[in-house]
Structure 1
Amino acid sequence: MPEAPPDPKPQSQPASMFRNPDYLRIFTSVGASQIGLQVAYFSISIIAVVVLDLSESQIGILYAMDQIALVLFGLLVGVWVDRLRDKPIIVVSEILRGVVMLSVPAAWALDALTVWHIFAAMFLLGLTSVFFDVAQTSYVPRLIDNKLLASGNSRIQGIRSASDTGGPLAAGPLVSLLSAPVAIVVAVVSFAVSAFSVATIKYREEEPEKPEKPHLWTEIAQGVKFIFHDKLLRSILLVSTWCNLSIGAFQAMLMVFLIREADQSSEVAGFVLAGSGVGGVLGAMLVGRISKKAGVGPTAIAALAVSGPGMAIVAASGPGWGAAVAFAGQVVFVASIVVFNVNVISYRQAVTPDDMQGRVGATQRVICWAGLAVGSIVGGFTGDVLSARAALLIAAGMLFVGFVPLLRTPLRKLREIPEEAAPQS
C-alpha cells in the first residue's frame, strides 16, 4: 500500500530555508534557468542587431514575440497549472526551452537562419517560459509557509538577479569568442541543469482536485474575478501594466542604443546589462530590511518612484566611459523594480488560495505582459521615428509617474504580508 502523500504545505519549516533541500533545489533551478534565458536573449539580440541588421521597429516586434506568447496563452496555462502538478510542468518546460534554442545554432550552421526563424524561436521561448514561470511561482507557496514567503521570494529574486549579472557578463565574451548562435548552446546546458534540479525534488505534491464538470472559461473567469474584486490587487495590476509599457520600450531599444548610438562593443553591452543583475541582487538584499522598518507597502511605493530616474540615467549615458554611467543607472532601475516586485508578489501569493495560485498568477502575468508587448512595439517604432535614446527617455518618464496612483490605495498603509489567504466569495 503506497504511503499517504504529505500535506500540500508542510507545517514545519527548517530554521533556514537553505537547510530545506527542496527549496534549495528550486532555488538552484531558478538560477540556472535564468542564466540560460539571459544568454539566450543576449545572443538573439546580437543576432538581430549585428548579424541580421534588423531595423528598430523589427527589433521591437522581436521582443514583443516573447511577450505575445504569454498574452495569448497565459490564462489557459494558469488553468492547466491549477489542474496538474507543478513539478512535471517545470521539468518539461525546461526541456522544451532547450530544444527551441538548439534550433538557432542548427539553422545558422546550415546557413538557413532568417528573421522569421528568430521571431518563431522568441515566440516559442516565451510560450515555454509561461509554463515554467506560472508553475514555479505556484510551487513556492506550496513548499513554504506564508510567513516565509517574502523571505523565500526575495532569495529567489536574488538568485534571478545574480544570474542576470552572470548571464550577460558571460554572454558578451562568449558571443565574441564563439559567435552568437553557438553561444546559445550554453543556454541549453543551463536549462538542462534547471530541469535536473527540479526533477530531484523529494516533496510529493497531491494530485490537484479537478472539478466534476471542468469548464475552462469558468475556471479562467474565477482567476480574473479574484484579482479584480480585490481593490489592492486590482490597483497593483493596473499600475504594473502601465509600468510594463515603459519597461517593454526600454528593453527593446536598450541594445540598439548601446551598440548603434553609444557605439559600445558586445562585451561592453554585456557589462551594462549585467548591471540589472547587480541591481537585482542589491534589491533582494535590501527589501527585507527596508520593508521591516518602513512597511511593505510604503517600501514598494518608494521603490517604484526611484525606478524611473534610474532608467533615465541609462538613457543619458554616452560612448566610452559612458558605459559606467549606464551600468549605474541599470543598478538603480532594477534594484528599485525588484524591491517593488518582491513585496507586491508576496502580498498576492499570501492572499491567494493555493488552488487558485496558477490562475491568479497567470491573470497578472497576461495583463502585465500585454503591456510589455505593446511597449516593445511602440518603443521600436519610436526608435525608428526619433531615436533609441529618445525612446528610452520617454520610457523613463512614463515609469516615474507610475507610483502616483498607489498613493491613494491601501498599499501605502500595508505594514506586513498577511499570514492567511483571503476567503473566497
Structure 2
Amino acid sequence: MTTLSDDTARGPFSSAPFRRFFAARTMADLGTEVGALALPLLAVLTLDAGPGQVGLLGALSTAAYLVVGLPAGAWTDRVRRRPVIVLSQFLHGVVLLSIPLAWAAGVLTLAQLYVCAFLGGVAALFSRTAQQGFLPAVVGRERLMPANTALAGMGSAAVVAGRGVGGYLVQTLGAPHAVLLNGVVQCASAAVTTGVRVSEPDPERRSRSMSAEIAEGVRHVFGHSLLRPIAFSTLILNLGLSPLLVLAPVLIVGDLGLPESRVGLFFMVGAAGAVAGSLVAGALAAGIGTGRALIVATVLAGATAFAVPFLSESAFWPVCAVWALSQGGVGLLNVVQTTLRQRLTPDALLGRMTATMRLLMTGALTLGSLAAGVLAEAADVRTALAVGAAVMALAWMPLAFSPFRRRDPEVR
C-alpha cells in the first residue's frame, strides 16, 4: 500500500496514487464528453428521433440524481469508496457497449437508448459521488486545494477536447462507433482506478437512519443564508441551460443541415469560454468581492445566452463567440460558488451538502430537458431555445435579493 509523503510542497502529482486517479478521471471525462454528443446524434441520425425524443433522452441521462441522488451521497459515506468507483465505471462501460452491439445486430431502438441513458447516469452518479470522498485519502487534506484545481482544469480541458473530437468522430466514424469508444474508455478507466492503492479510513459507524442523515444535509443547505440563494440561483440557471445543451445539436444538424462537426465546434468554443471564466474567477472575486462576482457571473451567463436561438449557417461563428461569453459566466460561477460551498460547510456535512446541491442542479437539467422537448414539439426548436435563455436570465435574482449583494456578505 502506498502512503502519503510528508513532503507536500511538491503538489499532488508527487503522489503516484493521485497520478493514477488523475489519469482515470481524464479518460472517463474525455469519454463522457464524446458520448454527450454521440448519443443524441445517434438518436437523430440513426433512429430519426424528433426534438421531444431527444429531450427525453437528455432528461433520462440525468434523472438518476432525482431518483437516487440523496441516498447515494449518504450511502457512499458508509462504505469504502474505491470499489464503488471501479464497479460503477465498469458497469457504465458495459451499458454503453451494448448500444453499438445492438446497432451492429440491427436491433437498436430508442427504448434501449433510453434505458442505457438512465443506467449510465446511475453509474456515473455513484462514481462521481464516491470520488469526492475518495480524494482526501488519495492526496491528504493538506493537498486537496491543488488536487481539486488540477481536476477542475482537466475537466474543463476534457470538455473542450471531447466535444470537439466527438463531433468529428461522429462525422467520420459514425455515432455508434463514437459510443463504442466511450464504452471502452469507461472500462479502461475502471481498470486504471484499481491501481490507486491507498489506505482508506474505516467507514464511520452511524446509529442514525439514512433518512435522518439526508434530512440533516438538506436542512444545512436550505437553512443557510448564503447556501440557500446559491442553491436557488443554480437551479434556475441549469433549468434554462438544459434546453440549450439538448436542442443545439437538433438545430445545427436537424434544422440547419450542417455537418456533425459543427456541433462539436459549438460546444468546444463554449467550453473554451468556460475555461477562461474559471481562470479569472479568483482575481474577480478578490477585486469586487465574492458576492458581487457571483452576481456578475450569473448576469453574464444569462444575458448572452439569448444569442443561441439565432444560430444559422451565416451567423454560426458570431453566435459561437457570444455563446463562449455565456459559458465564461458559467465557468466563473462554478469556481466561485463551489469554493464558497466548501468553505461554508463542516467536513462532516460535505458529502450530504454536495448530494443536495447535485440533486437540485442535475434535477433542474432533467426537468429542463423534458420541458425543452415538449416545447420544441409544440412550437419549434428556436422557441424552446429562446425560453431556455429567458429562464437563465432570471438566475441572478436569488443572489441579488440576498446577503450576496454586499461585498462581504454575513453568514446567518
Q: Same fold (TM over 0.5)?
A: yes
CA RMSD for the aligned pairs? 2.7
Deviation of residue 144 (structure 1)? Answer: 6.1
Aligned residues: 412
Return the alpha-carbon distance in structure 1 between the equivalents of residues 136 and 392 of structure 2: 30
Deviations along 1:214-270, whole A, 9 cap, x unmatched?
A: 512112112112212212111111111111110122222111111123331101111
Counterpart in the other structure of 1:92: 87
Return the alpha-carbon distance in structure 1 between the equivalents of residues 251 and 126 of structure 2: 31
Return the alpha-carbon distance in structure 1 between the equivalents of residues 83 and 344 of structure 2: 25
Counterpart in the other structure of 1:326: 319
| SS of structure 1 residue aligned to 2:280 | helix
Greater mean alpha carbon deviation, residues 41-50 or residues 116-125: 41-50
Q: Please tell me the residue identity of whatever aligns with 1:258.
A: I
Structure 2: gaps (5+ residues): none
Give matches, 1:4-403, under 5 Å: 13-140=8-135, 152-211=147-206, 213-319=207-313, 321-403=314-396
Deviation of residue 276 (structure 1)? Answer: 2.8
Q: Please tell me the residue identity of whatever aligns with 1:170.
A: V
Q: Please tell me the residue identity of whatever aligns with 2:302.
A: G
| SS of structure 1 residue aligned to 2:203 | coil
Deviation of residue 24 (structure 1)? Answer: 3.9
Return the alpha-carbon distance in structure 1 between the equivalents of residues 61 and 152 of structure 2: 21
Contact 1:278 1:331 in 2 (8 A): yes
Deviation of residue 126 (structure 1)? Answer: 0.8
Q: Percent identity?
A: 27
Deviation of residue 356 (structure 1)? Answer: 2.8
Deviations along 1:343-388, whole A, 9 cap, x unmatched?
A: 2122222333333322221111112222111111111111112221
Cα 1:336–1:112, aligned 2, differ >3 Å: closer, same or farther? same
Cα 1:246–1:282, aligned 2, differ >3 Å: closer, same or farther? same
Please, what TM-score do these two structures have when normalized by structure 1? 0.88
Return the alpha-carbon distance in structure 1 between the equivalents of residues 87 and 364 of structure 2: 27
Return the alpha-carbon distance in structure 1 between the equivalents of residues 298 and 223 of structure 2: 24
Contact 2:89 2:187 in 1 (8 A): yes
Cα 1:21–1:310, aligned 2, differ >3 Å: closer, same or farther? farther
Return the alpha-carbon distance in structure 1 between the equivalents of residues 329 and 371 of structure 2: 24
